[in-house]
Amino acid sequence: MRLEGETAFITGAGSGLGRAAAERFAQEGATIVAADVDEDGLDETAALVEDLGGEVATHVLDVRDGDAFRAAVDAAAAEFGIDILLNNAGVSHDRMDFESIEDAERDRVLDVNVKGVWNGCQAVLPHFKQQESGAIVNTASLAGVIGAPQLTGYSLSKGAVVNFTRAIAAEVGPAGVRVNAVCPGVTDTPMPRAGQTAEEWEARKEELSRHYPLKRLGEPEDVANAMLFLASEEADWITGQALVIDGGFSCA
């Protein structure tokens, strides 16, 4: 197993990409520490990991709270050790013209998507530096690489994650710590489905798929597999990279 004996701390683990990663990492032998603001979602994720025979602990955590993030990471490290941080928690906003985004909405997106990643790195790096090893995978977005019209606040936040990933990787590489990001295109998770009925989403999904050379949107497992690769020893000489996972959208 690729992660046997390792512990992965995963934020946003209550649904979507975080849940898919928790399941995938558990399949490869990792102990999972799942964190999210959604306690019910965490319980569901924990049950899925346990059904796979994996070991799992949960923390109700708002990633905007740096003190709470450090406490959760410290507790996980004391109980299990810690080898991987998946900074995955994120939010978006409704599509709208740039001039229409209110300051409070902009700040909400930046606080979760940027400050949350910052807080996660601050929490885990003392442990990783002490043991001279560790892997951080940050969830950015294709919107952070090429931008998304009418998602300017989201694009701003994810672009920050991409560049922060490069900066922090260069800084902590000498300590044996790797830092990378994944940049998914539209993936079939609760975020893009928000506010739509199942029928509306299926129609939207079919329409969007036409713009992708592979003629489909991403599935959570597509991104979880890339996260697994970057977290594993197979990516031992890869750091500071933003891996685009978009079904070819950005080259079409």
- The answer as to whether 193 is a domain residue is no
Structural domain count, the chain = 1
Active site residues: 154
Q: Are 122 and 92 in contact (CB under 8 A)?
A: no
pLDDT of residue 217: 95
Q: For the segment 45-82, what is each residue's pLDDT rounded down to a tens digit?
A: 999 999 999 999 999 999 999 999 999 999 999 999 99
Distance CA 95, CA 117 (A): 23
pLDDT of residue 98: 84
pLDDT of residue 41: 98
pTM above 0.85, yes or no: yes
Residue ranges of the chain whose pLDDT lies below 70: none
Boundaries of domain holding 56: 7-188+219-244
- The answer as to whether 170 is a domain residue is yes
Three-class secondary structure of residue 217 per DSSP: coil
Which element (helix H / strand E) includes 120? helix 116-131
- The answer as to whether 197 is a domain residue is no
pLDDT of residue 48: 98
Any bridge partners for residue 9, and if so which? 33, 85
* Distance of alpha carbon 200 from the chain centroid: 26
- The answer as to whether 14 is a domain residue is yes
CATH of the domain at 112: 3.40.50.720
